[in-house]
Structures are given as C-alpha cells and as structure tokens.
C-alpha cells in the first residue's frame, strides 16, 4: 500500500483514533506517512504523539517536509520539536527556516547526491552506491568543485554507461539552470515548468550547491498558488487548509473583511442614486433598467480582470504589455457594448419609449467600455505597486463598475430625456 494511501486512511480517522492509527504504521514508514498527512492532521499528531514517537518522525522527516511543518507551528511548539532533533539536524532545520517565507529556500532539501568533477566515473559510482537509498532523487547527480561550487548535473545513466576511468567533469554539458535560496518560490515553479526539470538546484551567490527543489514539491506549490489566486478573484482570503476542515468562524473571518469593504464601495453608489432622486421621481421606469446596466458593466469588467489576472500569474503577459492589451480591449469592449446595447435598446424602447431606449443603450455602451478598461487596468496597477494582481477580484471590479455605472446611466438619461440636472 503506497504511503500516500496510508496517510489518506489515517486522515479519515476521527481525531481521537488518529494517533493510535498512526502507531499501527511500521516505524520505518512513519516519517513518510507523516509527511503526506495534511496540515491539520500533522498538527494534531504533534499534539498527541509522545516525545519519543515525535523524535523518530522529526529526525527522519526529509528536510523540506520538516520546514513545511515547522514554519506553520507556533513558536513554542517549534522550540519543543527542535529539542528532539539530533545536533546536525537542528542546524539544518534552523538554517532552512532562516530563508524568507514562500522562498525557494523554504522548499529546498539539502539531500542530494554530490560528486566531485575531478573524480573518475568509477569513484563517483562507488560513492553513490555507498550513499544508499535515502536520497530523494538519485537519478540526478550534482557535480561540484572542491569549493562546493556547482559545475553541472549528470544523470545516473550517463555515469553508468560512461568509461569508468573518465573524469566526471568530461560528461558535463554546461547547461545549468539554478536559483538562489531567497528567490520567490513561484520563480522555482516557473523554472521547473519552463525547462521541464525534475529537480532545480539551489545555489548561493558564489554558486555553491545548497540543495535542490524537486518537481513534486513544485506541483503542490503551483496548485496552492492557483487556489490562492482563485480565492482572491472571488474576494476570499487565503485559507491554507481543506474547506472541510475549516471551522465556520475561520470562513467568516476570511470573507467578512472584503464583504464589508464592498458594502462601503456600494454605499458610494447609493449616494450617487440619491443625487439623481429628481430624475427617478420624474421617470420611474429609469429604475427598471438600472441594475441591468450596472450589472452588465460589472460582468464585462470581471471578464477583463479575470483574463489579465490569470495571464499575469502564468507569465503569459507582463506589466510592460499593458498598452497593447489596453488598445485591443478598447475595440473588444466597444463591440461587446454595441451588441448588448442593441438588446437593451429594443427592451427599453418597448417599455419606456424611444427616449428611454436610447438612453439605456447609450449608457450600456459607455458602462461596458469603462468597466472593461477598468477591469483590464487594475491588475496591472496592482502588479506595478507590488500588490497581488488577483486583488482585482470580480466582486471588487463589479462594485466599482456599479458606481461608475450609476453615474453614467443617470447622467446620460437625464440629458437625453431632458430632465433637470440635479443641483442645476
């Protein structure tokens, strides 16, 4: 049974039986099973296992999984767990935790197979054999200088079928992609994805090999980041745990902030409507089309923002591309507005006469245009200001589009229907 499935089975146990179920796992497999449990279940085991049991797990956990656990725990739990580690492991754990949050260093494991470039192939193979099975990725061998500087990567296959007397350095092909430990982990995702790597070496400023980031860790990060962007687009704060495990109060906290802020934004719209009170009293039919026009603007704006936020996240477009996309959006939004304007012109004319139909159609075109361009620009502005572009969420765009829509709609209607301007 694969460790991942054992972990799933333990995950499905209730909190009371979880520790007992974990104790049933063969001791040698416990660290690996622990690594595959999700955050909530790891933390509950940290609370319930005895120090001796946790000592075994902590010392055998691979360094990247250990970092992922320690970085989430409160300070006193971290201290308690570090006490359980062997001296060498403590140093390593503390060093890895020293890298910035969400950096490549936090994802890295120092466990990788290193050989010297000036060794013979035979000596390198003997060295690899000696290391045993414990290294995470043994099919890639890291070739270093005496100083520890990374020269190249060779595959086990290359070594196995090379002349045993040849120098390892003679196999090098000098195409080396590396990352620094304090780089953003999304950069590690991008490099591994772009260059189809199974592991990405992490080097310090002098090019010395510190460890590797493996493709399986990076896949998890990519999914996490996509989920975070997804939630942000829906105006939900990052959860960092399963929806099933999230308590109602946590969900409330992650949602209420944005909702209240959006109520405030929409409050400005309410003031805007009040300003045009006289127009409404004169032509009540204006109100029928109000939500329709402003919602359509919001929808078009949300579309534009969605396209930009995702394209910025995947690296498909960059901040410098904004002008070209703006010009393209100008024509697209105009065409969208004209099409939708045609529909509401017919409806408006039927219900409220030709004047209202014209007003509604013109307002629709302007609102769709303004909202689309706003939806396109906001992600770029946020990116430029070093905010996450995904903060330009659909609800935010919709709410701002509502304000613009209210102003545009009543202004156009007041002029076309010849109503008295407020304050005039």
Site for a copy of itself in 274-313 (CB under 8 A): 274, 277, 280-281, 284-285, 287-292, 294-296, 298-300, 302-303, 305-311
Answer yes or no whether residue 354 interacts with a copy of itself by CB under 8 A.
Answer: no
Query: Which residues inside 238-277 make contact with a copy of itself, applying CB under 8 A?
Result: 239, 242-244, 248, 251-252, 255-256, 258-260, 262-263, 266-267, 269-271, 273-274, 277
Query: Cβ of residue 57: shortest distance to a copy of itself, in angstroms?
Result: 18
Query: Is residue 213 at the binding interface for a copy of itself, with CB under 8 A as the rule?
Result: no
Query: Counting beta carbons within 10 angstroms of the beta carbon of residue 153, is it exposed (0 to 12), middle (13 to 18) or buried (19 or more)?
Result: buried
Q: Which of residues 217-236 bind a copy of itself (CB under 8 A)?
A: 218-220, 222-223, 226-227, 229-231, 233-236
Q: Which residues are CB-neighbours of 346 under 8 A, at least 6 positions away?
A: 357
Which candidate, 64, 68, 162, places its Cα nearest to that of 141? 162
Contact letters for a copy of itself, residues 381-400 (x by CB under 8 A) = -------------xx--xx-
Judged by CB under 8 A, the chain residues 309 through 338 that form the site for a copy of itself are: 309-311, 314, 316-317, 321, 324-325, 328, 331-332, 335-336
How far is the C-alpha of 196 from the C-alpha of 10, rounded, in Å?
34
Record the tokens describing residue 188, joined without a space: 């590690």
Nearest approach in angstroms of CB 302 to a copy of itself is: 5
Cross-sheet strand order for the sheet of 113-116 = 113-116, 140-144, 150-155
Least distance to a copy of itself, CB of residue 51, Å: 29
What b-and-e string marks burial along 390-422, b requiring 16 or more CB atoms within 10 Å of the CB?
bbbbbbbbbbbbbbbbbbbbbbbbbebbebeee
The DSSP secondary-structure symbol of 202 reads E
350 interacts with a copy of itself by CB under 8 A: no
Q: How far is the CB of 20 from a copy of itself (least distance, A)?
A: 25
* Ranges within 99-138 binding a copy of itself (CB under 8 A): 125, 128-129, 138
| Structural tokens at position 279 | 């127009």
CB of 87 to a copy of itself, least distance (A): 30
Least CB distance to a copy of itself at residue 290 (A): 7
Proportion of the chain in helix, strand, coil states, percent, rounded to 5: 70, 10, 25
């Amino acid at each position: 049974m694969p460790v991942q499935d054992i972990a799933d089975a333990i995950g499905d146990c209730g909190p009371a039986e979880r520790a007992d179920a974990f104790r049933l796992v063969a001791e040698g497999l416990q660290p690996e099973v622990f690594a595959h449990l999700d955050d909530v279940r790891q933390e509950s085991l940290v609370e319930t296992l005895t120090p001796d049991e946790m000592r075994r797990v902590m010392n055998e956990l691979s360094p990247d999984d250990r970092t992922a656990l320690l970085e989430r725990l409160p300070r006193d739990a971290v201290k308690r767990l570090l006490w359980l580690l062997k001296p060498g492991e403590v140093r390593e754990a503390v060093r890895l935790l020293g890298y910035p949050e969400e950096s490549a260093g936090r994802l890295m494991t120092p466990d990788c197979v290193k050989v010297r470039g000036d060794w013979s192939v035979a000596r390198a193979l003997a060295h690899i054999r000696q290391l045993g099975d414990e290294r995470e990725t043994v099919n890639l061998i890291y070739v270093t200088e005496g100083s520890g500087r990374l020269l190249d990567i060779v595959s086990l296959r290359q070594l196995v079928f090379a002349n045993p007397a040849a120098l390892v350095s003679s196999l090098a092909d000098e195409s080396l992609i590396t990352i620094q430990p304090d780089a953003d982990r999304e950069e590690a995702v991008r490099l591994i994805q772009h260059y189809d790597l199974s592991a990405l070496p992490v080097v310090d400023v002098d090019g010395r090999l510190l460890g590797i980031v493996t493709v399986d860790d990076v896949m998890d990060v990519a999914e996490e980041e996509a989920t975070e962007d997804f939630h942000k687009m829906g105006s939900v704060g990052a959860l960092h745990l399963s929806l099933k495990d999230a308590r109602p109060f946590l969900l409330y906290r992650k949602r209420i902030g944005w909702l209240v802020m959006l109520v405030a934004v929409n409050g400005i719209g309410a003031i805007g409507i009040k300003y045009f009170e006289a127009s409404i009293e004169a032509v009540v039919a204006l109100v029928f089309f109000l939500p329709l026009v402003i919602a359509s603007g919001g929808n078009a704006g949300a579309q534009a923002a969605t396209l930009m936020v995702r394209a910025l996240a995947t690296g498909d477009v960059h901040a410098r591309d904004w002008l070209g996309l703006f010009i393209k959006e100008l024509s697209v939004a105009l065409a969208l507005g004209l099409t939708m304007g045609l529909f509401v012109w017919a409806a408006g004319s039927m219900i409220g006469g030709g004047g209202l139909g014209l007003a509604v159609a013109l307002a629709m075109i302007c609102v769709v245009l303004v909202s689309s361009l706003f939806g396109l620009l906001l992600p770029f502005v946020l990116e430029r200001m070093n905010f996450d572009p995904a903060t330009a969420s659909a609800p935010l765009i919709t709410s701002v589009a509502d304000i613009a829509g209210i102003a545009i709609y009543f202004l156009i209607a007041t002029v076309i229907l010849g109503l008295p301007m407020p304050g005039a």
